[in-house]
Amino acid sequence: MTDSEREPALTPQPSATLDCPRCQTTITYYDVTGSYYYGCPNCQTYFKYENDDPPQILRQFDKTTSQPAIALGTEGYLFSLWVRLVGYVVKREAGTLYDWREYYLLLNDGTYRTLSEYHDHWMWSEPTTHTLVAYTSHHAMFEFGKQAAHAGAYVHDRTDNRRYTLFNSYQIELVSVVGEFDYNLLDEAQLTIYEYIQPPTMLIAETVGDTVDWYEARYVEADELEKGFDLDAKTLRPHYGVGAIQPNPTDERWLPTIRIWSLGAVGALVLHLFLAMLNPHPAQVLNQHFSVAKDTATTEGRPTVRSNAFQINGPAHVGVEYVTDLNNHWAEFEAELINQKTGKTYSFTKAVEYYQGVDGGEAWSEGDKADDASLSRIPSGRYFLTIKPYTDEGNLSLDVHVTAGPAPFSNVLVWLLLSGLYPLYLFARGRWFERDRWAQSDYNPNASND
């Protein structure tokens, strides 16, 4: 937000002072024509002072150690509006020990906004004129003051076409009041509050009987407040736990990630199908027989053999199959697939063993006389194989079959699974975050499934 976008402050903003009727502490107030109710920061006396009438003490609150995180009288800019902090109230959900803090903000035009803080999560709330309709979980119209709320109840914002789910309902107890106010906070004891969420926003229904006043709230990061009120960095404590309308940290990444993954998955499938159409079946590019005599200079080694050259149209999945005449012996083949032009080498080793006999009149066998190796994404070119055999056999008969074709579909599946790990992580993290959010609600729609 630039300075030109900011609403100018009233210069100077009018202010006045009065004395607490109990302890005589001087209280500065700024809404000189609208404020009639005051809370003393020293002795916690809450009183009414209107016109020239004598101050009327309304309640004496217990002294509290709770202090505002932002000092009363502080000016700032939030959402392009000039604001001044004029009131600080600690509230409690009736019948519990759940306290939260509300900061009352005076605007240039004499209207108010509220900052609420719970577990160091902040939200800004203001009246809304949207067309809002409340429903039960069975999609019937909900009548405030006449029906009990249940999990799954919601509000349809017909103006923005958004749906908000019931998160909480409660009544208010006041714990501490400091500053100035344009209405009697004690009247809030008559209210029943309903909170409906669609993070990072909330709709708040303040009801007395069937009368409803609606407010809209939005989540505010602590650094936004520090910037708006020109506070030092880290003045406000970091939040803990999950806030009722705290944005899910995976939301911003989920759609781009799943979009990229989906495009990659479609691309991989299309490429696989295209290559499969060009080469529907692996082509045999080499079929060669070798008779390898024993090398008298070594015990198990045999001379290295070299195959004929063959063409590969890549990128291709290359299969190399060894077929031997082994019988109660083993063999190991150290092989290299070499590009005839570039000298690029792909090394691999394969072992073959086959044993058989008769035990107790029953024939048995173990191993196989043949085995194969696979090489992926081999580029186009002319290649040849060099094979160094090792065996405890005498002379070795070896047939080598080489095929080249498109990668098997299992490779595509492996890629899909591996590349899908991050989207899966985001999904699981997002669900866990929502689980923690709704664990704080008395209207958890998933409670019966946990």
Closest by CA to 203, choosing from 92, 270, 125, 309, is: 125
Residue 242 φ/ψ region, left for φ over 0, alpha for ψ in the -120 to 50 degree band, beta for the rest: beta
In sequence order, what E strands does 232-380 have?
A: 283-292, 305-306, 310-312, 316-324, 329-339, 345-359, 362-368, 370-378
* Residues 68 and 90 sit within 8 Å (Cβ to Cβ): no
Residue 13 pLDDT class (50, 70, 90 cuts): low
What does the CA dihedral 301, 289, 369, 292 come to, rounded to 10 degrees? -20
pLDDT(145) > 90:
no
- Rounded CA-CA distance 450/440 in Å is 14
Beta strands of 185-251 (E only): which ranges?
Answer: 192-198, 201-208, 211-220
In one-letter notation, the amino acid at residue 424 is L
Of residues 276 and 36, more confidently modeled: 36
**% of the chain residues with pLDDT over 90:** 69
pTM over 0.75: no
Between strands 396-405 and 310-312, the pairing is: unpaired
Give the Cα separation of 231 and 164 in Å (integer).
33
- Apex 183 CA angle, 71 and 157, nearest 5: 90
Fold of 280-405: Jelly Rolls (2.60.120)
> How does the average pLDDT of the chain come out, rounded?
90
Three-state DSSP class for residue 196 = strand
Closest-CA residue to 225 (of 215, 217, 233): 233
Q: Where are the chain's structural domains?
A: 3-246, 252-276+412-449, 280-405
Residue 280 reports pLDDT greater than 80: no
Q: How confident is the model over 26-50, as pLDDT tens digits? A: 999 999 999 999 999 999 999 999 9
Cα separation, 434 vs 437, in Å, equals 5
Give, in order, the Cα–Cα distances in Å from 289 to each of 120, 307, 394, 397.
77, 9, 17, 8
The number of residues in the chain equals: 450
Instruction: Give the pair of three-digit tokens for residue 152.
Output: 């799954």
- Between CA 93 and CA 169 the distance in angstroms is 9
Q: How many Cβ atoms are within 10 Å of 366's Cβ, its own excluded?
A: 10
Between the CA of residue 30 and those of 56, 179, 184, what are the distances in Å? 20, 10, 17
pLDDT digits (tens, 9 = 90+) for 374-427: 998 899 999 999 999 988 877 889 999 999 887 666 667 777 888 888 999 999
Inter-CA distances, 246 with 31, 222, 243, Å = 32, 12, 5
Instruction: Answer left, alpha or beta for residue 52, where phi above 0 means left and psi between -120 and 50 means alpha.
Output: alpha
d(CA 27, CA 13) in angstroms, rounded, equals 16
Q: What is the pLDDT of residue 338?
A: 96
Measured CA to CA, the distance from residue 336 to residue 317 in angstroms comes to 15
Confidence band of 450 (pLDDT split at 50, 70, 90): very low
What percent of the chain lies above the pLDDT cut of 70?
92
pLDDT, one tens digit per residue, over 211-266 is 999 999 999 999 999 999 999 989 999 999 999 999 999 988 888 888 888 888 88
> At how many degrees (to 10) do helices 421-438 and 251-278 cross?
150
Angle between helices 421-438 and 409-419 (to 10 degrees): 40
DSSP 8-state secondary structure symbol assigned to residue 314: S
CB 245 within 8 A of CB 218: yes
In degrees and rounded to multiples of 5, residue 72 shows phi and psi of -60, 140
Q: Give the model's pLDDT for residue 316.
A: 83
Long-range contacts (CB closer than 8 Å, 24 or more residues apart) made by 351-358: 352/322, 352/324, 352/326, 353/326, 353/329, 354/324, 354/326, 354/327, 354/328, 354/329, 354/330, 355/328, 356/327, 356/328, 357/328
